[in-house]
């Protein structure tokens, strides 16, 4: 199943700083629920994504590669592909991201061409955009916490140099409040939002049915 996804989020730093942060894949990977990086070799990244939906557990291993990194226009392009570790399902994506100045700092816009096969394709076209939107929201929240704690800047170690001796001392930085999840719990992204939509509609339908029955009884 192929689908096009558009998402955006803001980070509380200017584009120049956000650019350096977003390219530090190993450091920001924990900000994405269920994602982990196993190795980085130049522009190629190997990693894993774990997903849970009730009793269903899925694990993907794959690679991603930066095909474009333009610091002048602050645009990034990534090609990624993965396969279920237990199963025949596959996933591939072409991702394009751009950074623009924003009142809050930097607006990051992402366009993803996603193709999935196997069990995740059963989520359907209507639910995948909602899942991706929730994921981006959590990623952005964790990334903001990382940045505000100084964990993704060039001064993350808190080192200060003594002007006379040249010695450097490390000062402790507060740990960023990242809510990292070892696996993506898709239940809260898929089932809960659906229930929130279905329950009110069902309640309205039931109320209309009750009123209709009462009116029918009065007429009879």
> For residue 47, what pLDDT is reported?
93
Hey, which bits of 54-204 come out as E strands?
Answer: 56-70, 75-84, 90-102, 105-116, 159-161, 168-170, 184-185
Give the model's confidence band at 61: pLDDT under 50 very low, under 70 low, under 90 confident, else very high: very high
Q: If DSSP codes are grouped into helix, strand and coil, which group holds residue 88?
A: coil
Burial letters 88-125, b for 16+ CB under 10 A, else e: ebbbbbbbebbbeebeebbbbebebebebebebbebee
- CATH 3.30.530.20 for domain 2-155+178-219, yes or no, is yes
* Confidence check: pLDDT of 46 > 90: yes
Give the model's confidence band at 146: pLDDT under 50 very low, under 70 low, under 90 confident, else very high: confident
* Confidence check: pLDDT of 206 > 60: no
Mean per-residue pLDDT, 11-20: 92
> For residue 50, what pLDDT is reported?
83
> For residue 179, what pLDDT is reported?
52
Per-residue pLDDT of 96-129, as tens digits, reads 999 999 998 999 999 999 888 887 666 666 667 7
Lowest mean pLDDT among 13-22, 88-97, 149-158: 149-158
pLDDT higher for 91 or 171?
Answer: 91
> For residue 165, what pLDDT is reported?
46
Mean per-residue pLDDT, 185-197: 47
Mean per-residue pLDDT, 131-152: 79
Give the model's confidence band at 132: pLDDT under 50 very low, under 70 low, under 90 confident, else very high: confident
What's the token pair of residue 138? 């959590």
What's the token pair of residue 121? 């394709």
Give the model's confidence band at 191: pLDDT under 50 very low, under 70 low, under 90 confident, else very high: very low
Each domain of the chain, given as residue ranges in start order, spans: 2-155+178-219
DSSP 19-72: HHHHH-HHHHGGGSTTEEEEEEETTEEEEEEEEEETTEEEEEEEEEEEEEEETT
Q: What percent of the chain has pLDDT over 70?
A: 62
> For residue 169, what pLDDT is reported?
47
């Amino acid at each position: 199943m192929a689908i096009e996804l558009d998402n955006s989020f803001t980070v509380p730093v200017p584009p120049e700083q956000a650019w350096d942060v977003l390219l530090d894949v190993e450091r920001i990977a924990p900000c994405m629920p269920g994602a982990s990086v196993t190795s980085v070799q130049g522009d190629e990244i190997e990693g894993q994504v774990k997903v849970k939906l009730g009793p269903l557990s899925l694990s993907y291993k794959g690679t991603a590669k930066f095909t474009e990194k333009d610091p002048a226009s602050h645009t990034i392009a990534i090609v990624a592909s993965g396969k279920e570790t237990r199963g025949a399902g596959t996933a591939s994506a072409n991702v394009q991201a751009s950074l623009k100045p924003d009142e809050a700092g930097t607006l990051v816009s992402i366009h993803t061409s996603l193709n999935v096969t196997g069990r995740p394709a059963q989520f359907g076209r209507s639910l995948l955009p909602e899942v991706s939107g929730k994921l981006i929201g959590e990623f952005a929240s964790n990334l903001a916490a990382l940045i505000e704690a100084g964990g993704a800047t060039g001064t993350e170690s808190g080192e200060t140099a003594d002007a006379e001796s040249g010695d450097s001392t490390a000062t402790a930085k507060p740990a960023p409040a990242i809510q990292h999840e070892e696996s993506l719990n898709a239940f809260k992204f898929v089932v809960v939002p659906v229930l929130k939509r279905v329950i009110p509609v069902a309640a309205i339908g039931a109320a209309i049915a009750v009123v209709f029955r009462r009116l029918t009884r009065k007429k009879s």
